[in-house]
Amino acid sequence: MKQILLVFLGGGLGSILRYLISKNLNAYYSNFYLGTFLVNIIGCLIIGILIGLSLKNNYISENQTLLLATGFCGGFTTFSTFALESNILFKESSLLQMSLYMGMSVAIGILAISLGLWICRML
């Protein structure tokens, strides 16, 4: 039960923070969802660091991983919103913007996870 509460608490905090960031930043560009993009990239970096710390001599506990990686990052990042926004760009015939948004999200997301893991190896 404690583990479920940790995931619940982390997910709630992550979701609130994602909402606030996306609400404030998505309005800046009509053909690029900056808020969603940034929360997904930041979330990738955070989860890379968390998993790196977890793998490095068990620096963080299983409960901390559940709270922060599963809960917070799970609530903070959002694949469903990313897919919806990509679909909106497609329907608006903004194929270049859609391709950039999707390509940059995936490529930079993977690089951010790699950066997080690298940071932990350097510690």
Q: Which two tokens stand for residue 99?
A: 């391709």
Q: How distant is the alpha carbon of residue 114 from its chain centre?
A: 14
Q: Distance between CA atoms of 69 and 85, rounded to whole angstroms? A: 24
Residue 123 identity: L
* Residue partners of 104: CB distance under 8 A and separation at least 6: 37
Residue 77, marked binder: yes
Q: At what angle do helices 34-55 and 79-91 cross, to 10 degrees?
A: 150
Annotated binding residues:
74, 77
Annotated binding residues for Na(+):
74, 77
